[in-house]
């Protein structure tokens, strides 16, 4: 049991001890904290706080759970002068993220054709392990995409200017350098652009169930009973290979650093090293790949809506609400210090920024804006979802595909999954209570909900 001191109803301090350089902070209700205690999250938070150059405090957000090195739902800002950059602080699915495609259709208009729409989406958008997309790229074309992100697809007529405007970083990290991505990673990624993948990746059809902030929803084009699509996926095999390559490179280049850490999975490259520069360049390229991946999926989803509802992008209002990334490190200045801000299973939430927090399969999701307290409390971050409470192995033991299908059906939700067991792995019972995660984020002032979304159809990777 870690020594935690209650600061408020939603804030718990892990005082600096031993090798810790700063305090650890857990932002959670007592209910969520009791769940967080069930795995190694708090131990990983303590380890994060021991990293050189870490600023202010190490953070576990309300959806936190055990990860690789850093906890998922973790935030740490490491000085670019005294610290470094850690692949374990970013994650293996670089820029796993989520976007919402708006429509001007209502649930009443969509309901009679919802099965046709789901079938069309499932056929058009590849999902599952090893799935391949329709966009076949040469290595040179892929390198171009890695450095341009969504702009590459705009040049190909597969994105419009509004897609770029409403994407975090405008869909491109300019620090990307495709030459720092290995040949193996390139080969893994060249055929997967436009694919969902497996695991917790999904494409959902939602209806706006509740307007929480009428003024902001009107500003952003969100209205009651509106039907929207939510896409969640990342950088596929390319991003995973980049992470694996640089973990190995850091271990080989800096064995003394790795051996001095409380957990080898925290391995980092010092900021002024060539390995740090190369990893940041390759990570940025992977992030651009992920944005392009979600963009192509959304473009194909638009085609499905236009086919099923016999309209155009304009007549159906098929516009991107926003796209946010999760697993990422960015160079930002906080309280006068330039840092590598690691957000692993965390969402950028600067005051007023659009934020998307999806729930688990079969539960509500939320549209939000960044809260006024996010900069002082979380380096401008908030939760990225509900957060697991159960491993996939345990979930498959406790739930069957049949029981999950029955439960979804009882809620009036259509479900298609690329594998039978995929549905069991992603059951809502494998995740924390999204309502509690949102309540904590709102109460802390790190994110403000503006609309609640309810799923009506789900494609699970």
Which residues are the active-site residues? 384
Measured N-to-C along each axis, helices 274-309 and 139-148 cross at an angle, to the nearest 10 degrees, of 90
Give the 3-state secondary structure of residue 400. Answer: coil
- Sign of CA pseudo-dihedral 12, 367, 133, 280: negative
Q: Strands across the sheet with 11-14, in order? A: 5-8, 11-14, 23-27, 57-65, 72-79, 337-344, 328-334
State the CB neighbour count (10 A cutoff) for residue 112. Answer: 8
Based on C-alpha coordinates, what's the Rg of the chain? 21
Q: Are 448 and 371 in contact, with CB atoms under 8 Å apart? A: yes
Find the helix or strand (DSSP H, E) in which 346 lies: strand 346-348
Task: Cite the DSSP H helix spans in 197-322.
Answer: 214-220, 236-253, 255-260, 274-309, 313-316
Distance CA 207, CA 105 (A): 10
DSSP 133-183: -S----HHHHHHHHHHTHHHHHHTTS--HHHHHTBGGGG--TT--GGGS-H
Give the 3-state secondary structure of residue 294. Answer: helix
Q: Six-digit token pair at 42?
A: 């708090």
Q: Are 309 and 341 in contact, with CB atoms under 8 Å apart? A: no
Q: Are 94 and 235 in contact, with CB atoms under 8 Å apart? A: yes
Give the 3-state secondary structure of residue 58. Answer: strand
């Amino acid at each position: 049991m870690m020594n935690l001191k209650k600061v408020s109803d939603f804030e718990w301090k892990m005082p600096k001890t031993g090798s810790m350089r700063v305090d650890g902070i857990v932002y959670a209700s007592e209910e969520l904290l009791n769940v967080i205690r069930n795995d190694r999250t708090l131990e990983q938070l303590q380890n994060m706080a021991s990293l050189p150059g870490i600023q202010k405090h190490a953070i576990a957000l309300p959806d936190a759970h055990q990860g690789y090195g850093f906890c998922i739902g973790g935030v740490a800002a490491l000085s670019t002068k005294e610290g470094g950059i850690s692949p374990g602080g970013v994650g293996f699915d670089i820029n796993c993220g989520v976007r919402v495609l708006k429509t001007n259709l209502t649930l009443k208009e969509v309901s009679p054709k919802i099965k046709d729409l789901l079938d069309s989406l499932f056929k058009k958008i590849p999902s599952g392990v090893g799935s391949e997309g329709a966009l076949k790229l040469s290595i040179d074309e892929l390198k171009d995409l890695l450095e341009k992100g969504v702009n590459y697809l705009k040049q190909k007529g597969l994105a419009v200017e509004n897609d770029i405007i409403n994407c975090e970083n405008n869909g491109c990290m300019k620090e990307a350098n495709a030459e720092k991505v290995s040949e193996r990673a390139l080969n893994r990624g060249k055929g997967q652009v436009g694919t969902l993948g497996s695991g917790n990746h999904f494409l959902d059809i939602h209806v706006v169930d509740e307007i929480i902030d009428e003024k902001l929803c009107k500003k952003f084009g969100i209205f009651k009973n509106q039907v929207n699509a939510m896409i969640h996926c990342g950088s596929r095999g390319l991003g995973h290979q980049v992470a694996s390559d640089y973990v190995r490179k850091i271990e080989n280049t800096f064995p003394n650093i790795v051996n001095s850490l409380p957990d080898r999975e925290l391995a980092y490259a010092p900021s002024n090293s060539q390995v740090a520069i190369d990893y940041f360049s390759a990570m940025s390229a992977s992030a651009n790949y992920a944005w392009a991946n979600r963009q192509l999926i959304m473009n194909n989803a638009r085609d499905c809506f236009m086919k099923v509802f016999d309209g155009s992008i304009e007549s159906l209002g098929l516009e991107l609400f926003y796209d946010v990334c999760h697993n990422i490190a960015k160079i930002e200045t906080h309280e006068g210090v330039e840092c590598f801000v690691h957000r692993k299973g965390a969402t950028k939430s600067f005051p007023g920024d659009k934020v998307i927090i999806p729930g688990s399969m079969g539960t509500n999701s939320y549209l939000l804006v960044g809260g006024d307290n996010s900069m002082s409390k979380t380096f401008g971050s908030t939760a990225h979802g509900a957060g697991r409470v159960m491993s996939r192995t345990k979930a498959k033991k406790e739930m069957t595909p049949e029981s999950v299908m029955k439960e979804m059906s009882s809620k009036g939700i259509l479900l298609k999954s690329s594998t039978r067991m995929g549905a069991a792995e992603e059951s809502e019972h494998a995740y924390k209570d999204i309502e509690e995660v949102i309540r904590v984020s709102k109460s802390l002032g790190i994110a403000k909900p503006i609309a609640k979304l309810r799923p009506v159809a789900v494609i699970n990777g």
